[in-house]
Amino acid sequence: MNQPVDWSTYKFHPSGLKHMMVKSRKKDEILSETTKAALREIYIREVWGRERTDVLANKYMQKGIMCETDSIAMVERVTGNKYFKNQKTLENDYIIGTPDIISPNLVDIKTSWDIFTFSAVDEDQARKDYYYQMLGYMWLTGHEKATLTYCLVNTPDTLVNDELYRLSFKFQNGEEEQYRHNYIYDDIPEELRVKEYEFSFSEQDVEEIKSKIVAAREFLAGLSL
Interval 22-41: pLDDT, tens = 999 988 899 999 999 999 99
14 to 7, 112, 120, 123, 178: CA distances (angstroms): 17, 19, 23, 19, 39
| 196, β-bridge pairs | 149
* Domain extent for 204: 58-152+188-208
| Mean pLDDT computed over 207-211 | 98
The CATH number of the domain holding residue 104 is: 3.90.320.10
Residue 166 maps to a domain: no
Strands (E), the chain: 90-91, 96-97, 107-111, 145-151, 194-200
Residue 53 maps to a domain: no
Residue 130 maps to a domain: yes
| Mean pLDDT computed over 73-82 | 96
Residue 135 maps to a domain: yes
* Cα 25 to Cα 33: distance, rounded to the nearest angstrom: 8
| pLDDT score at 173 | 67
Convert the pLDDT of each residue in 36-58 to its tens digit.
999 999 999 999 999 887 765 68
Residue 127 maps to a domain: yes
Residue 61 pLDDT exceeds 70: yes
Residue 118 maps to a domain: yes
Considering its fold, how many domains does the chain have in total? 1
Rg (CA), the chain: 20
Residue 144 maps to a domain: yes
* Cα 108 to Cα 41: distance, rounded to the nearest angstrom: 25
Residue 197 maps to a domain: yes
